[in-house]
Amino acid sequence: MTVKKTGRKRLVAAGALLTALCLCCVSVGITVGQLPDELTVSRTSALTESTSLCTFLPTRLAYSGSRQASARLFGLIPLKTLPVRTASPVRVKLGGTLFGVKMYTDGVMVVGLSDFECRGRSRNPAREAGMEEGDLIRSVNGQRMYRSDDFSEIAEHTDKEMKLEVVKQDGSWQKMTLIPLYSDADGCRKTGMWVRDSAAGIGTLTYIEPESGTFGGLGHGICDSDTLRMIPVRGGEIVEAEWIDVKRGVKGDAGEIRGCLGAGTLGNIRSNTLCGMFGQYTAALPDEPENEYEVAVRQEVRVGAAQVYCTVDSSGKPRFYDIEIQKINYRAGEQAKNMIVKVTDPKLLDKTGGIVQGMSGSPIVQNGKLVGAVTHVFVNDPTCGYGIFAENMLRAGEG
């Protein structure tokens, strides 16, 4: 009997040890997965051995060279060698204000395909030629296309081949040919596709860099509402926007800031990227020294209390509201969804229900530095959403 009990105890002990080892391996794996791909240092954010790199297990730094650092679990076990990038500190003016967007596509975008009757048969020349929603038509018969009206004019008045130069959604270039057919119902020639050459909307300005005049906003790219494709930008402008009201967000239904575009031009659009919209701010900068903040590098961002700076009422002026940074992804591979944030301020929750459409680009401030911007709302929990590192926006804006 004693031998059997001893055997059971050993089996239990062995099982417990094996479980502990498995949990340890999983924990280390998660920790390594959370480590950044590189580190950035500046004169005001020097890395030290107390710099925390992970929110799962305690991971500290040990320098292994002038341009490298070693991430060590509990400060002892080496996990990963990280390249160190040196950057000069940058100070920017906080945005937080609403702005309107008027942008023009670099070509005409196919936003829909529609069959029609031709001699009693259902036809679609565009679909038959291999065209798809989201395709970008750059030229027709060697002529650059910028306006949808120009494309329609050519299609309605030709019975010959239209030779198209097309950029597909995967970025590949293709030469395609189609012949517009006569529509029995409309009495003119048609290609069977709807095209668009511009887009407009409202978002929030994140920052303006006083020295260069570069602005950044939204924190994510603008996609076509029909095809969900990132819109390639030929140019455009940002303009003043007037707040009208707010539709509060509830579970399952994202809210939104309702507004209209104003007449005053604020700047020119240069690029539409995964990290936001960027360009040159041409309006006069407000003389507000207290509104200038240093941009934090990613390893300075911490789980915990922070504030979002946004405009959500009829005053038209941005205010600070309390939020909590709940989770951080330090890896460089994720460009836009770098952190999960939760609105905790009762005033903002009362006004909006949390994060709503139109707040994208609202600056996030922590420990006196600009650390990021709000990008997306969780539809099933509008009090929470994603944020992007300000460092990522700054780099995209420089490009």
Show which of 191, 210, 235 is a domain's final residue. Answer: 191
Helices of type H across 54-195: 125-129, 148-156
- pLDDT greater than 50 at residue 290: yes
- We report the CATH number of the domain holding residue 147 as 2.30.42.10
DSSP assignment letter at 36: -
Query: Residue 27's pLDDT is what?
Result: 40
CA 89 to chain centre: 23
* E strand or H helix that includes residue 33: helix 2-34
**78 and 40, same structural domain?**
yes
Task: Domain of residue 69: give its range.
Answer: 2-86
Shared domain check, 125 and 19: no
Question: Picking from 5-14, 53-62, 183-192, which range would have the lowest pLDDT averaged per residue?
Answer: 53-62
Do 16 and 164 lie in one domain? The reply is: no
Which of 191, 207, 228 marks a domain boundary?
A: 191
Percent share of the chain, pLDDT over 90: 58
What is the residue whose two structure tokens read 């490298």? 68
Q: Is the pLDDT of residue 204 over 80?
A: yes
Q: Residues 6 or more apart from 13 whose CB is under 8 A from it?
A: none
pLDDT range class, residue 376, cuts 50, 70, 90: very high
Q: Do 194 and 111 contact (CB within 8 A), yes or no?
A: yes
* 21 assigned to some structural domain: yes
Q: Is residue 53 part of a domain?
A: yes
258 closest CA partner among 244, 272, 269: 244
Q: Is residue 351 part of a domain?
A: yes
Do both 229 and 316 map to the same domain? yes
Question: Both 376 and 227 in a single domain?
Answer: yes
Q: Is the residue at 153 inside a domain?
A: yes
Let me know whether 173 and 226 are in one domain: no
Judgement on whether residues 161 and 212 belong to the same structural domain of the protein: no
| Domain edge (last residue) among 191, 217, 250 | 191
Q: Could you tell me if residue 247 is inside a domain?
A: yes
- Least Cα distance to 161 among 138, 119, 183, 189 occurs for 189
Phi, psi of 114 (to 5 degrees): -140, 120
Global confidence as pTM: 0.79
Say if residue 122 is in the same domain as residue 269.
no
- Quick check: 73 pLDDT over 50? yes
Higher-confidence residue of 65 and 305: namely: 305
Residues 360 and 225 in one domain: yes
What mean pLDDT value characterizes the chain?
Answer: 83
Q: Which two tokens stand for residue 385?
A: 């959403």
Top pLDDT among 46 and 342 is at 342
248 lies in the same domain as 183? no
Q: What is the CATH number of the domain that holds 359?
A: 2.40.10.120
pLDDT score recorded for residue 17? 55
Q: Please report whether residue 109 resides in a domain.
A: no
Q: Which residue has the higher pLDDT, 26 or 269?
A: 269
Counted domains in the chain: 3
Is 95 in the same domain as 18?
A: no
Catalytic residue numbers read: 220, 345, 360
Q: Domain for residue 110, yes or no?
A: no
Q: What is the pLDDT of residues 317-347, one digit of tens each?
A: 999 999 999 999 887 666 789 999 999 999 9
DSSP 195-220: EEEEEEEEEEEEEE-TTT-EEEESSS
Residue 31, in any domain of the structure? yes
96 & 130 share domain? no
Antiparallel, parallel or unpaired: β 162-167 and 181-182: unpaired
Residues 24-35 as b/e (b if ≥16 CB within 10 A, e otherwise) read: eeeebeebbebb
Residue type, 157: H
